[in-house]
Amino acid sequence: MPRSTRSAGERGSGTLGTALAVAVMIGGIGVAANVTIGLWARTTVESVAYDTARRIAETPVGADPRRHADAALANARRSLGPLAADVDLELVDRGDGHAGVRVRYGGVRLVPRLLEGGPVVGSIDRTITLRRERVK
């Protein structure tokens, strides 16, 4: 059996380095997961907002534009599922033949809420307006 070349004073010296490496690896995986979830959530929210703006702009002939818009916004909230609690969707009607949606979403924090001012991924505050068209 080979003998160790380490002296008795060096026993356990690799433990600290291993613990730090594991901590860095876990932190990296956590940041990567939060970035991925933040970008996925932003993409989902933005897609639902664009679809909702398109539905609002395509008001059927004879339909009440306000009721049609309210139905489109309710459908968008159902489409977002649990994410809808963090998303603010509101009707924007400019009155000049353009209508759409203002969407606000806070995004995903990369650090715990205890640390204020930390980086956020996927936040959005955008107004999507389209020209109204009457659809048969």
136 has pLDDT over 70: no
Residue 106 sits in which domain range?
15-135
**Is the model's pLDDT at 76 over the cut of 90?**
yes
CA separation, residue 99 to residues 32, 65, 90 (Å): 37, 10, 11
- Asked whether residue 94 carries a pLDDT value surpassing 90, the answer given is no
Q: Is residue 1 part of a domain?
A: no
Q: Is the pTM here over 0.85, yes or no?
A: no
Tokens of 67: 């009721």
pLDDT at 50: 94
Cα gap 89→65, rounded to integer Å: 17
Domain count within the chain: 1
Grade residue 77 by pLDDT with cuts at 50, 70 and 90.
very high
In a domain, residue 127? The reply is: yes
The top-scoring range by mean pLDDT among 17-21, 117-121, 130-134 is 17-21
